């Protein structure tokens, strides 16, 4: 069964990369990829990007954050690629991870379709609007997007620092909207060896928050995993395992919607996308093995510090201050 799942994940990622290669962006030449492309041969930056993303994938798994939220600020800050290319590939990176994990989570009854579908409808709609708005603002002035991206990344770092996910939140009474939508269910907890019943509350506020999540995910190419889990778990009261699993399923819908806008505009190109996706996926496999012997809490704080730095660097770059190089 494990081999079948591994092969299925491999087929999904392979299909994703073939799809990227066949999109209109494939016609983009190597000279269009990087501002400093003339200084190095065309293969230089893809190779550096592969090893960079390999390390990024390891850190993402050990810190418990999505690859997209690390990919976009760090690659846009330290690589000579246009911000539109980085945001487009950032969505594909988040989508690749979701496609690899989604089917298995559905089979284990952890990803809840009743919870995912209304959220996905809202988030995917506004992620498309966010992608269109982001490309429009970038065409006016890329520094606007760079500055807003930096502010968002700093905000995400603060959220990761202060949020304390709850394994099984206590929901005393389900609200009327959650009851009408049937947002609840049960799953088998292997660790506790028991069936866990759950339901949601504050549903209207949670659905409203996904409007903002969708806009930010589409506009900056971050994916939405960084916000899905806190909203589902801390705000709406879904168990942590259900929140994480449903978030992965949501990403496969939300990120596909926004990624299509970037691909249609020629902002997803194989020269950046293939080494990024392959590097992050291999890094994730290595990270899972290291996780057994490492101290994830220390890694998590290191990643939060890196996000703070990357956010401040993006703000510095967008405003043209030059304090951080």
The whole-number pLDDT of residue 27 equals 39
pLDDT in tens, 16-47: 444 444 444 433 434 444 444 457 788 898 99
Alpha carbons 163 and 158: distance in angstroms, whole number: 8
* Whether this model's pTM surpasses 0.85: no
The whole-number pLDDT of residue 16 equals 45
Q: Provide the percentage of residues in the chain whose pLDDT is more than 70.
A: 77
Alpha carbons 68 and 73: distance in angstroms, whole number: 9
The whole-number pLDDT of residue 106 equals 62
Question: What's the average model confidence in pLDDT over 153-179?
Answer: 83
CB 72 within 8 A of CB 52: no
pLDDT in tens, 184-193: 888 777 766 7
3-state SS class at 51: helix
3-state SS class at 195: strand
Question: What's the average model confidence in pLDDT over 82-93?
Answer: 88
DSSP character for 257? H
Judged against a pLDDT cut of 60, whether residue 2 lies above it is answered with no
- When mean pLDDT is compared across 210-214, 231-235, 243-247, the lowest value belongs to 243-247
Residue by residue, what is the 3-state secondary structure of the chain?
CHHHHHHHHHHHHHHHHHHHHHCHHHHCCHHHCECCHHHCCCCHHHHHHHHHHHHHHHHHHHHCCCHHHHHHHHHHHHCCECHHHHHHHHHHHHHHHHHHHHHHHHHCCCCCHHHHHHHHHHHHHHHHHHHHHHHHHHHHCHHHHHHHHHHHHHHHHHHHHHCCCCCCCCCCCCCHHHHHHCCEEEEEECCCCEEEEEECCCHHHHHHHHHHHHHHHHHHCCCCHHHHHHHHHHHCCCCHHHHHHHHHHHHHHHHHHHHHHHHHCCCCCHHHHHHHHHHHHHHHHHHHHHHCCCCHHHHHHHHHHHHHHHHHHHHHHHHCCCCCC
Alpha carbons 305 and 311: distance in angstroms, whole number: 10
Alpha carbons 88 and 53: distance in angstroms, whole number: 16
The whole-number pLDDT of residue 77 equals 81
Question: What's the average model confidence in pLDDT over 151-163?
Answer: 84
The whole-number pLDDT of residue 114 equals 86
Judged against a pLDDT cut of 90, whether residue 208 lies above it is answered with yes
Judged against a pLDDT cut of 50, whether residue 142 lies above it is answered with yes
Judged against a pLDDT cut of 90, whether residue 303 lies above it is answered with no
Phi-psi region of 193 (alpha: psi -120 to 50; beta: other; left: phi over 0): left
**For residue 318, which of 133, 74, 83 has the smallest C-alpha distance?**
83
The whole-number pLDDT of residue 50 equals 94
Judged against a pLDDT cut of 50, whether residue 319 lies above it is answered with yes
- When mean pLDDT is compared across 72-81, 182-191, 228-237, the lowest value belongs to 182-191
Q: State the average pLDDT for the chain.
A: 79
Tokens of residue 157, six digits: 């770092």
The beta-carbon contacts of 6-10 under 8 Å, at least 24 apart in sequence, are: 8/103, 9/99, 9/100, 9/101, 9/103
Higher pLDDT, 306 or 211: 211
The whole-number pLDDT of residue 291 equals 61
Judged against a pLDDT cut of 70, whether residue 9 lies above it is answered with no
305 - beta bridge partners? none
The whole-number pLDDT of residue 206 equals 92
Judged against a pLDDT cut of 50, whether residue 129 lies above it is answered with yes
Could you tell me the end-to-end alpha-carbon distance of the chain, in angstroms, rounded to an integer?
Answer: 50
- When mean pLDDT is compared across 58-67, 142-151, 270-279, 314-323, the lowest value belongs to 58-67
Higher pLDDT, 101 or 269: 269
């Amino acid at each position: 069964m494990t081999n079948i799942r591994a092969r299925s994940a491999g087929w999904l990622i392979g299909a994703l990369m073939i799809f990227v290669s066949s999109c209109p962006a494939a016609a983009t030449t190597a000279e269009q990829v990087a501002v400093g492309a003339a200084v190095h041969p065309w293969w230089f930056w893809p190779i550096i990007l592969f090893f960079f993303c390999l390390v990024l994938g390891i850190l993402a798994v050990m810190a418990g954050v999505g690859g997209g939220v690390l990919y976009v600020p760090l690659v846009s800050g330290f690589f000579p690629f246009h911000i539109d290319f980085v945001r487009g590939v950032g969505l594909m990176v988040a989508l690749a991870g979701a496609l690899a994990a989604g089917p298995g989570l559905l089979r284990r009854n952890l990803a809840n379709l009743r919870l995912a579908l209304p959220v996905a409808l809202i988030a995917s709609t506004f992620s498309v609007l966010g992608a269109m708005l982001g490309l429009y603002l970038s065409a006016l002035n890329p520094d606007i997007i760079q500055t807003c991206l930096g502010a968002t990344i700093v905000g995400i770092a603060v959220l990761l620092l202060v949020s304390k996910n709850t394994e099984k939140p206590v929901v005393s009474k389900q609200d009327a909207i959650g009851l009408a939508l049937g947002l609840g269910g049960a799953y088998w907890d292997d660790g506790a060896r028991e069936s866990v019943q759950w339901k949601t509350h504050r549903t209207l506020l949670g659905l409203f928050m996904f409007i903002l999540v969708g806009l930010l995910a589409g506009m900056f190419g971050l994916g939405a995993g960084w916000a899905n889990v806190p909203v589902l778990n801390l705000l709406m009261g879904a168990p942590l395992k259900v929140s994480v699993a449903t978030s992965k399923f949501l990403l496969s819908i939300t990120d596909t919607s926004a990624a299509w806008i970037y691909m249609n505009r020629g902002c997803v190109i194989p020269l950046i996308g293939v080494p990024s996706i392959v590097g992050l996926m291999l890094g994730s496999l290595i990270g899972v093995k290291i996780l057994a012997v490492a101290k994830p809490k220390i890694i998590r704080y290191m990643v939060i510090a890196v996000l703070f730095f990357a956010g401040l660097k993006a703000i510095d770059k967008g405003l043209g201050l030059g304090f951080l190089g």
